[in-house]
Amino acid sequence: MSKTVLVLVETVDDYLPLLEEAGYRLIRAPSPQMRSDAIARHAHEIDAVLTRGPLGLTSSEIDAMPKLQIICVIGAGYEQVDLAAAAARGITVTNGAGANAAAVADHTLALLLALLRDIPRGDASTRRGEWNRVISPSVSGKRLGILGLGAVGLAIAKRAALGFDMHISYHSRTPRTDVAFTWYDSPLHLADAVDILVIATPGGAGTQHLVDAEVLAALGAEGYLVNIARASVVDTEALVAALQRGSLAGAALDVFDDEPAVPDALKALGNTVLTPHVAGQSPEAARDTVSLVLRNLQAFFAGEPVLTPVRLHTL
């Protein structure tokens, strides 16, 4: 018997046929209205849900689907999925840890280079017929701090160390024993020791405003911030204030608090580089993401362990 998957995501459409070819029936509901309509009409048919961290799945939605057995989250973050409600029903939750790590790491280095070398403004002024040869900082040899050294953080670290001879430091809850990078016991101590701070940690209550005014002050007037994780990890008001008064050299952001709205204050600044939450998106990443979802679904419905389980205690 085929299983029915409610698809709430909107970024992997080209590769959803992989699921259909494997025999899954898909109900696509990428907008809020389509989502509520699909649950209202098909609640008793849905065996699995495909979502992503910011889209999540609420306790009331979980309660409305009596056949729901597994929730697959694309990407590493799952902050808006009600894990307690899922656990209470015995529903398995998986995420996409590592599936788009290469794409996110590539984009991170692109943002970092664009920010430090002032690429966007140089391009814009050249197109206007100007010839502003501004001297910009080198990237090679800088001290890079990474907040969160999971699959994405590690991919960023390897690129920065091998490609740009950067000294790598990081903060995570516990130090890793499989890397030679320098571990710091807090975001504050990490920021104080580096030139560039990259945010690569999951979102959610546990990481809310880890990077606050104090951390930004420690990063300093010659420091740079790059966020490709979740906007909630950074205090946006404190970030804007630091950028406006010059107590932080610049910031490159792929994530925002109220997407797709971007604060006018950030857009008005000349020391920011802004992209529309696309770090994890590439054809290769989308393919690998859907392939991982398929492997998790196939394992689950065959009674085998899933590949990337999310557990309540991991919050």
CATH number, position 120: 3.40.50.720
Same domain, 10 and 94: yes
The identity of residue 53, as a single letter, is G
Same domain, 177 and 202: yes
Contact (Cβ atoms closer than 8 angstroms) between residue 234 and residue 203: no
Gap between the Cα atoms of 35 and 29, Å rounded = 5
As a whole-number percent, the residues of the chain with pLDDT over 70 amount to 98
Judged against a pLDDT cut of 70, whether residue 179 lies above it is answered with yes
Same domain, 263 and 289: no
pLDDT by residue (tens digit) across 137-151? 999 999 999 999 999
Q: Which pair of structure tokens corresponds to residue 127?
A: 């197109």
Contact (Cβ atoms closer than 8 angstroms) between residue 82 and residue 104: no
Could you give the dihedral angle defined by the CA atoms of residues 299, 305, 306 and 309, in that order, rounded to the nearest 10 degrees?
160
**Residue 42: active-site member:** no
**Residue 230: active-site member:** yes
Same domain, 166 and 250: yes
What is residue 1's predicted lDDT score, i.e. its pLDDT? Answer: 58
Average of pLDDT values for 162-189? 97
What mean pLDDT, rounded, does the chain reach? 96
Q: How confident is the model at residue 231 (pLDDT cuts 50, 70, 90)?
A: very high
Main-chain phi, psi angles of 257, to 5 degrees: -65, -40
Judged against a pLDDT cut of 80, whether residue 263 lies above it is answered with yes
Same domain, 207 and 225: yes
Same domain, 258 and 287: no
Average of pLDDT values for 198-221? 96
Judged against a pLDDT cut of 50, whether residue 315 lies above it is answered with no
Sign of the alpha-carbon dihedral angle for 145, 146, 147, 149: negative
Beta strands in the chain (DSSP E): 4-7, 25-28, 48-52, 70-74, 92-94, 143-147, 167-171, 182-183, 196-199, 224-227, 250-253, 272-274, 309-310
Judged against a pLDDT cut of 60, whether residue 168 lies above it is answered with yes
Judged against a pLDDT cut of 60, whether residue 313 lies above it is answered with no
Catalytic residue among 259, 284, 304, 311: 259
Same domain, 187 and 309: no
* Residue where the block lists tokens 């990077």: 211
Same domain, 128 and 92: no
Same domain, 93 and 115: no
**Residue 259: active-site member:** yes
Number of domains in the chain: 2
Gap between the Cα atoms of 289 and 66, Å rounded = 26
Same domain, 117 and 91: no
Same domain, 292 and 264: no
Catalytic residue among 117, 277, 287, 295: 277
Same domain, 219 and 295: no
Gap between the Cα atoms of 282 and 278, Å rounded = 8
* Residue where the block lists tokens 């991982």: 292
Contact (Cβ atoms closer than 8 angstroms) between residue 83 and residue 310: yes
As a whole-number percent, the residues of the chain with pLDDT over 90 amount to 94
Domain around 71: 4-99+283-314
